[in-house]
Amino acid sequence: MRRLTGVVGAALGLALVLASCGDGKSSDSGSGGGAKSEVIAIAADPLEYINPLNENGSPGIQIAMAMFAPLVTTDPNTGKLQNVMADSVTPDKTSQTWTIKLKPGNTFQNGQAVTAKDYVDSWNMTAEGSNAWKNNGFFSKVDGYEALNPPTADGATPKPTAVKTLSGLKQVDNLTFTVKLKVPFSQFGLTLQYLGLAPLPEEVRKNPDAYKRKPIGNGPYKLAADWNAGDDIKLAKWDGYKASAAPEADSITYRFIPNADTAYNEFLAGNVDFTDVPSTKVKSFKTDAPDQWVTSVSSGANYLVFPAWDARYKNPKLRHAFSEAIDRKAFADLVGLSDPAKGLIAPDINGYRADACKYCDFDAGKAKADLQAAGGFSGVVNISYSTTSATGQIFAEAIGNMLRQNLGLQVKYTGKQGSEITELADSRKLDGLRFGGWGHDYPSIEDYLTPMFKSNGDANFAGYSNPALDAVLAKGDAEPDQDKAIKLYQQAEDIALEDMPLIPLYTKSNAYLHSAKIEPRVSKYVGVSALWATFK
């Protein structure tokens, strides 16, 4: 579920973190026929705004899951794609032009009917580079994208252009629109479950800034009270939602608790019904809360990211040396519930290879030889870590000690808010290494490659670019046979691993605590979700 740049040890995956005040025995616990009320604790800094088209971070997308409805989704029971707002999604025989027909009768929470025009206009706004919305890169495959995104200096915002619409987006009728891609893309139907494609109603599109803190969605929940940045986000079930079945909760409050250990302690004190287990507690949660936990393999992958804009890290052989100097088994044991990563893809994704990376085995001797062959390293290696993570500094120092001991490097550490690390990296001003995490928006190997490694990928943490990789990705996109497409995507992964703009570190299982009040939904296809929990 998108990126957590600068953060290590935070939950990454498809699960929502739900909590409930009280001991689960009050009249609103769901067991006595009363209202089912929940509080959602998210271990992150509070949001500044709510706009799914301008959000690709895990906390914001968790809110979007409740307030907005996707076109399609993955069935938690079968793993197959099922329609939500869409009535049908149909490719032509080349998978280059796709026709999307909406279900009739759906509305926004202001009463306006949801139409094809809402999708076309909302997507055009996001694709316009001068708006600098975070999901802009998603539309890079659509015809006409370049006209809205002229060449721009690295890290700068494109200037406004005369062209305001994607030539590949066409409204056919009130409920139908077509998407023509620049090249065939067999995975496009899967991408439509991403909530960063949610429509905005006309009144929001006219003045998005005016609705940053009073969003109007099309999902099962709406704002229940005024919301200011930094406040809890209080939602109430919206009776007008008809697209699909809604969750059981009648009201939900999202509470942002930057320190995950604090949320964990709130659970142990009886004040929280559901919370994720922080890295500091992975060895104790089963005894701290016996019979009140669930675990699930995460679709997230975690990395150490190089700054492509710093010439000192330019030589791939130097990056190989850094990778070989890291004892992944020891680091994964430190993180807990984790396994060493030897590739760029999460283990539960079709196309995953356990030993894709030939530079991910710990070998101090080879690391030293590769560093020497690269001409050594000049200066001090800086590792940035998030101060909102209880384990951020611990993990940074663990990596730093390995680089110091195994390569003889000088290392320093810089703690900053995760959002500040991201902002500095996005503007190409961050010094040194940082941690990054990624979870897919749709279950495809392609979604671990295009966003992070394509030259204009919308989550290209490292500022990496290789035309050869771009070309192989394009071949995979155009291949309608899924098995053949996966082989091509694996070739792209091999190129990225050879260049190594970031170092695979570990994959992690997620653990959650829940009270007797609720039973979280657990799915091998979409992970653990307390948003969709059943009340007892």
Q: Model confidence over 416-437: pLDDT tens digits?
A: 998 899 889 988 899 999 999 8
Strands 251-256 and 37-42: parallel
Return the higher-pLDDT residue of 361 and 255.
361
Give a yes or no: residue 523 inside a domain. no
pLDDT at 19: 33
Domain boundary among 215, 249, 273: 215
Interatomic CA distance for residues 49 and 27, integer angstroms? 33
Give a yes or no: residue 12 inside a domain. no
pLDDT tier for residue 1 given thresholds of 50, 70 and 90: very low
State whether 344 and 453 are in the same domain: yes
Domain boundary among 215, 244, 271: 215
State whether 197 and 344 are in the same domain: no
Please answer whether residues 159 and 132 qualify as being in contact, where contact means their C-beta atoms are separated by less than 8 angstroms.
Answer: no
Q: Of 186, 14, 165, give the one whose Cα is nearest residue 89.
A: 186
Tell whether the model's pLDDT for residue 415 goes beyond 50: yes
> Which tens digit of pLDDT belongs to each residue from 144-162?
999 999 988 877 888 899 9
> Any idea what the CATH number is for the domain that residue 143 is in?
3.90.76.10
State whether 200 and 323 are in the same domain: no
Tell whether the model's pLDDT for residue 24 goes beyond 50: no
pLDDT at 512: 93
Distances from the Cα of 486 to the Cαs of 102, 319, 349, 352, 481, in angstroms? 30, 26, 11, 9, 9
Tell whether the model's pLDDT for residue 490 goes beyond 60: yes
pLDDT at 132: 92
> Which tens digit of pLDDT belongs to each residue from 38-88?
888 888 889 999 999 998 888 898 899 999 999 999 999 988 899 999 999
- Which stretch, 20-29, 96-105, 449-458, has highest mean pLDDT? 96-105
**Mean pLDDT estimate for the chain:** 89
Return the DSSP state at 447: G
328-335 and 392-407 helices, crossing angle to 10°: 160
- Other residues' Cβ atoms within 10 Å of the Cβ of residue 253: 19
Rg (CA), the chain: 23
pLDDT tier for residue 396 given thresholds of 50, 70 and 90: very high
State whether 204 and 326 are in the same domain: no
State whether 175 and 79 are in the same domain: yes
- Which stretch, 54-63, 270-279, 283-292, has highest mean pLDDT? 283-292
Interatomic CA distance for residues 205 and 176, integer angstroms? 20
Return the DSSP state at 140: G
Give a yes or no: residue 241 inside a domain. no
pLDDT tier for residue 20 given thresholds of 50, 70 and 90: very low
> Any idea what the CATH number is for the domain that residue 423 is in?
3.10.105.10
Distances from the Cα of 289 to the Cαs of 38, 276, 513, in angstroms? 20, 12, 7
Give a yes or no: residue 81 inside a domain. yes
Give a yes or no: residue 470 inside a domain. yes
Interatomic CA distance for residues 519 and 86, integer angstroms? 29
Interatomic CA distance for residues 151 and 8, integer angstroms? 33
pTM: 0.74
What is the domain extent for residue 394? 297-509
> Which tens digit of pLDDT belongs to each residue from 302-311?
999 999 899 9
Q: Which amino acid is at 55?
A: E
Give a yes or no: residue 265 inside a domain. no
Who's near 432: CB < 8 A, 6+ residues apart?
A: 307, 310, 381, 382, 383, 384, 414
Domain boundary among 158, 183, 215: 215
Question: CA neighbours within 13 Å on the CB side: how many for 255?
Answer: 20
pLDDT at 459: 83
Give a yes or no: residue 500 inside a domain. yes
State whether 207 and 328 are in the same domain: no
Tell whether the model's pLDDT for residue 32 goes beyond 50: no
Please give the average per-residue pLDDT across 455-482, as a whole number.
90
Strands 81-83 and 72-74: antiparallel
Give a yes or no: residue 91 inside a domain. yes
- Of all residues in the chain, the percent with pLDDT exceeding 90 is 67
Structural domains of the chain, count: 2
Who's near 185: CB < 8 A, 6+ residues apart?
A: 95, 96, 141, 477, 478
Q: Which string of b and e fits 313-344 if b means at least 16 CB within 10 Å?
A: bebbebbbbbbbbbbbeebbebbbbbbbbbbb
Tell whether the model's pLDDT for residue 23 goes beyond 60: no
pLDDT at 34: 59
pLDDT tier for residue 31 given thresholds of 50, 70 and 90: very low
Tell whether the model's pLDDT for residue 485 goes beyond 90: yes
